[in-house]
Structure 1
């Protein structure tokens, strides 16, 4: 394991076109779960200039029947949820306006063959909704047990969004990206060596004085977020390095659900199985198994069994139990990884149904996950239950 190195992670704001799509897809998940906790949802969203398109397959009581007939009033609720999401983000621009964009709803009934393989029936347990591999990761380098590079990338954009919404920075528009490069010594982050923000802005900043004002504002955010003494040299701070950034969001670039999976997870510090989260109900192991893998990895680190932990789970469509469980503590563990692998399924049943019941996932809690990362954020009551460390004592006792 290398101890001295540079590492980089990026984040994107809630107004990034792909994140707009993610938030719309999860708004639909939340809407349908509020009507039927057992709803099946696979909702993809496309955003572009004044257009939002939904596609995918669904099933649920009070939503759509097997023949594809919508329940009364539900289509109006769907459009209201979509437009409300875009309004909350802050898009009221000529090229993408929450009231004016054209909307298409192409959702259709779930395949009967998928339903047959996945549904619980008789002595058959609920099976995984698809095959795949899912990873969870935790590290002790930040209080939330997340990689510091990603933690600070998210915090920079969250702060800018708060300033935009509050009116403290009225010149900011919704679309933005950040990137943080940190220097690690003896495996510990010690300072930033490069910081990048590209942010959409109002026309009033499209001159030399405006760009200087924007740079000063962003540098102030960097100083607020990063620990004292961590700022890099002036020439390693990049604010809108291409110049002006007036046209952004879905008007500047098309957005699709599921294209920011590294931003959503661990910023490249951990492997990724390839499956996106947003737009999927919690029976889909792409989402639920990735959440339980994070939960287990975080509890391993919180229990003092390792300083870093990666967990992989794998599933086959229609099969309930995972095909494999893999634990890697990256040379930081205090016990044999095989012992951890043996202990974890004794503490949590790692079937789709077992995961959902343990974490309480059949609730409309997902739209909040769809910007600034699914992991490492503060829990609000039952919100983000996969961030809890309530397995620590049981894990220690079992091992």
Structure 2
């Protein structure tokens, strides 16, 4: 990187159910204010802003930011499905790294509706239209189910068939998320669940998934202030967390092989593998060096599948990884100390920046009961089908506090 990119401030509001949240304007602007306060700067010092959201009209970013200030800066609105927040961060990071700006804001917010995700457009081709025959063919028995459940349920079932994984292993991942979220005051669900609780919840895909294994529709906002090192020094800002490496990938033909169709390919394993490989190469580290990871667990099934894609366990080794406790405190790596999307919630535009918030606290040593002892390298994995995958590696900088 030509310029070191520092995380000077982060802000996040408690995530809420759609029936209990404020408007996207209230949520997004409050997240920005909290990030500015955390950084210790005024909005007038921000030179560019990237605003991420999925469900909203054009220029919602300006609508949010005008509540904080109207300084005439460029505001870019971003939509990359569930990886929207990290895409906003990706663009902010590039602006700093290139030297185009010294202080950039990334904000993500989402005012979601209750119920399963759905398109709000029925008069035009859906995304991935050319490849939908693969999904429909491999999940023909799930006709009528919401597409997200067909997608990740189908991938989860394929993984079970391929490696003999038990449904209880998915339940164990969900139970782990609840134990972590119990210590996160910003999480939507903080009740601790047992494997039995998860298994006994209403079944939404027999033999594969119960309702608790799917993340809930959530509203929320999160933001980050990225700065160059010279800007941080000039203004006396903290310099203890940096973005060591970051990569964004999209689909390649391997995701949609009509000759050998696979739901595991369909859910972005190739994108994840490519993105994390680029990050490991750029940073000169490997999966064994990562202390903590916020992973895109939109479904418990996806968390298990991504263990392999991120290199945390060998092919077919995810069940052992879970049962050995290598995905939690005292194990190989702490996955989703925040509670993840399953317990913390998944407001699409805010998710990637909520991951940034959590990992910044971990590297600062400010995560209270969630603290991963001695955390120095922290990874965020944010996946959006359609598709885009963003992997970000954060690092602790010694002696970088104010």
TM value normalised by structure 1: 0.24
Rg (Cα) greater in structure = 1
Normalised to the residue count of structure 2, the TM-score between the two structures is 0.24
More helix per residue: 2
Higher strand share: 1
